[in-house]
Structure 1
Amino acid sequence: MNLTRMFSKYALVTVMALLSLIPFYILLYLALNTPSRTLFNGFVLLPDFHFANFSQAWKVSKMGAAIGNSLIIAMGGALLIILVSSCAGYAIARHHNKFHAIVFHVLLICMMIPAIIITVPLYTLMKSIGGINTHWAMILLMASNGIPFSVFLYASFIKVLPREIEESAIIDGCTPFTAFWRVTFHFLRPVTAAVVILQGLAIWNNYGQAVFFLTSQEMRTIPLAVSMFFQQYGAQWNLMAAAAVIGLAPAVIAFLIFQKYFVKGITAGAVKG
């Protein structure tokens, strides 16, 4: 009976994993097809292995510059989110007062507001301060989108850490600020990895706001570079898919680096937090 139940669980997990891989297979299938072939032509399980799509997509979409822009914005935004959210989460978790409670609840409310709703007033603001088509403006914008949820993660994680960690550091001569950065922050690697993955990927894949704030060709990010195959060149599915595969590769590498901390960072504060 136990063997049958275990087999059923593994079979269910295997089926779910295979189903989750179908969109990636279709994307890779389209990326390796010739321009004249669609998904429904020929043998559906085997593409044409037309690797020229990748070089053409790289050249036409200027993918190198797009990856550079995405890296700058994603890394800058993630770093700013980590710095602000970890400090705010520490203050909320360790110092209980009405002001911190109000700030925490305001941040929770901000999590419920879709970012696209505030795009128009933000565009007016950014245009007035010269932030259109600049890296720094997109970094600030992406950080403001990701800080509320990240503060929630950090605060929940820090609540389950014993206070003795920083108290012993303070006894040894550290200030509360240095005790946090030199001692406590060392234990926040799992939640920091979770923030890097969640917020980094959100910034990396952002299209809805990038299309408003990055209008010049030189400032295009990966989603904007991929979307040009639907606008300037029509629906060229093979080039679109090839560009998407190229843009997806750095995100997959980052996930593989941080994935061992990801689940722990998401769930560590869930029970006691």
Structure 2
Amino acid sequence: MEAKSTYNLRLLGLEIVGIIVGLLFLVPFYFVIVNSMKTFGEILINSSSLPSSLNFSNYVKVWDIMKFPKAFLNSLLITVFSNLGLVVISSMAAYRLVRRPSRFNNLVFLAFVAAMVIPFQSIMIPLVRVASEVGLMDSIPGLVVCYFGFGVSLNVFLYHGFIKSIPMEIEESATVDGCTPYGVFWKIVFPLLKPMTVTIILLNSLWIWNDFLLPMLVLNSPDLRTIPLTTYSFFGQYTKQWDLALAALVLGVLPIVIFFLAMQRHIIEGITAGSVKG
């Protein structure tokens, strides 16, 4: 009989260190939430203290100034349609690269992997020029297309590893039963990709929802601004409205935090499953 692991001082020390590190990561959230309920004067006097009273007037002002429902809708549309396109394009591309191995497909996959290490700042000026030439500037569909280009590399990489774990015999059986190649993918393979699909949607949503630089470059009209762009409007050249800006941050982050907490268990499940190869 194997000896059971005992709780010792080493494990206790690791737990204490883990708790301290966790608390350190929560400190910024404390400052944001607490100071979002204070007046500007209270923030300047003592930003670390609790508010004297629960004051939600900042949230009411921000809701009107930001036109929050409009900004929320813009962010939601961009995130949803970007995710839909990335999932469809990336899953089909990865399936083709895995199931039709060739020197050309291997080079294509290497190109996807290499594209992951290219920093956005090095290509943002050419991106703006190209987007302007093809009519993608200042439109939500144009921004979604840009996200297709930047997100497809990582998505193909993740799907590529996951599809390798799916037995070929399942697809061969479906083909023998008369299923077309597209039917094999959409009816057999794609449902098996659910853990990785959920993981990719979560990672893409966190990135796209909170992204600031790409929407700032592509979107110019005030009516098309996302939540990060509208939040930036509280930081001017001479004044910084910290009381309103922090309330705006809470409103902007809250939806994606709720979504992440509800779906986070699928991240480890999807990545772990993708690491197992058949």
* TM-score normalised by length of structure 1: 0.93
Deviation at 1:31, TM superposition (A): 1.0
2:94 counterpart residue number? 89
Deviation at 1:70, TM superposition (A): 0.6
Distance 1:233 1:267 in 2: 49
Alignment partner of 1:209: what SS? helix
Structure 1 residues 189 and 233: CA distance shift in structure 2, 3 A: farther
Contact 1:30 1:39 (C-alpha < 8 Å) held by counterparts: no
Confirm whether residue 66 of structure 1 aligns to residue 71 of structure 2: yes
Distance 1:259 1:58 in 2: 28
Confirm whether residue 46 of structure 1 aligns to residue 19 of structure 2: no
Distance 2:25 2:204 in 1: 21
Structure 1 residues 181 and 32: CA distance shift in structure 2, 3 A: same
Letter matched to residue 184 of structure 1: V
Distance 1:99 1:125 in 2: 27
1:131 to 123, 133, 136: 136
Deviation at 1:129, TM superposition (A): 2.9
1:2 to 3, 6, 22: 6
Deviation at 1:271, TM superposition (A): 5.1
Alignment partner of 1:68: what SS? helix
2:254 counterpart residue number? 249
Map 1:39-188 onto structure 2 (within 5 A).
Answer: 41=46, 44-48=48-52, 49-188=54-193
Deviation at 1:264, TM superposition (A): 1.5
Amino-acid identity (%): 37
Deviation at 1:233, TM superposition (A): 8.0
* TM-score normalised by length of structure 2: 0.91
Distance 1:253 1:178 in 2: 35
Letter matched to residue 24 of structure 2: L
Distance 1:272 1:238 in 2: 51
Distance 2:261 2:92 in 1: 27
Structure 1 residues 175 and 254: CA distance shift in structure 2, 3 A: same
Which shows bigger deviation, 6-15 or 110-119? 6-15
List per-residue Cα deviations over 1:39-94 (Å, max 9, x = no partner): 6517x341242211111111112221111111111111111000000011111222
Deviation at 1:256, TM superposition (A): 2.5
Alignment partner of 1:196: what SS? helix
Distance 2:169 2:276 in 1: 20
Distance 2:74 2:238 in 1: 22
Distance 2:261 2:189 in 1: 25
CA RMSD across the alignment: 1.9
Deviation at 1:231, TM superposition (A): 2.3
Q: Which segments of 5 or more consecutive residues in structure 1 lack a partner in the other structure? A: none
Distance 2:97 2:269 in 1: 21
Alignment partner of 1:230: what SS? coil
Q: Which segments of 5 or more consecutive residues in structure 2 lack a partner in the other structure? A: none
2:37 counterpart residue number? 32
Structure 1 residues 39 and 94: CA distance shift in structure 2, 3 A: farther
Contact 2:37 2:58 (C-alpha < 8 Å) held by counterparts: yes
1:16 to 17, 21, 25: 21
